[in-house]
């Protein structure tokens, strides 16, 4: 007997209900990384704390949130597949892997692209 394909509104609603509450934890994790770098290396980053540095920080935060949306590109097709039930139980692994990758990328970006150029 064929498995009934769920409707797009059902799948999209399910994806939003899953991913959006976790976006808060994702952003908090990246904020903790950033705050930790500022706190640990405070004398070095002191000149960067100014109103002019707020815009680049907001742009980077926006880019991080656009990257978070990549989860939908994996989640939506997986929910339309025959593996929907298994995917729904295990999609936390995508969230965890993506969050860890974002933390690693944030650390790299701070160390390689920002830290050396702060005067």
Identify the pLDDT of residue 1: 53
Structure tokens at 51: 């109103």
Q: Which two tokens stand for residue 29?
A: 């994790």
Spatial distance between the Cα atoms of 57 and 31, rounded to a whole number of angstroms: 11
pLDDT digits (tens, 9 = 90+) for 14-63: 999 999 999 999 999 999 999 999 899 888 888 878 888 889 889 999 99
pLDDT above 70 as % of the chain:
95
What is the torsional sign of CA 71, 74, 80, 85?
negative
Residue 1: helix, strand or coil by DSSP? coil
Least confident of 45-54, 61-70, 100-109: 45-54
Total-model pTM: 0.87
Rg (CA), the chain: 18
Burial of 90 (0-12, 13-18, 19+ CB in 10 A): exposed
């Amino acid at each position: 007997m064929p498995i009934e394909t769920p409707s797009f509104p059902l799948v999209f609603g399910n994806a939003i209900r899953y991913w959006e509450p976790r976006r808060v934890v994702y952003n908090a994790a990246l904020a903790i990384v950033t705050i930790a770098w500022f706190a640990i290396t405070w004398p070095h980053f002191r000149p960067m704390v100014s109103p002019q540095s707020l815009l680049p920080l907001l742009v980077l935060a926006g880019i991080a949130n656009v990257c978070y949306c990549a989860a939908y590109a994996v989640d939506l097709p997986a929910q339309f597949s025959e593996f929907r039930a298994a995917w729904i139980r295990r999609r936390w692994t995508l969230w965890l892997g993506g969050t860890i990758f974002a933390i690693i990328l944030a650390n790299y970006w701070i160390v390689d692209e920002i830290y050396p150029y702060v005067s």
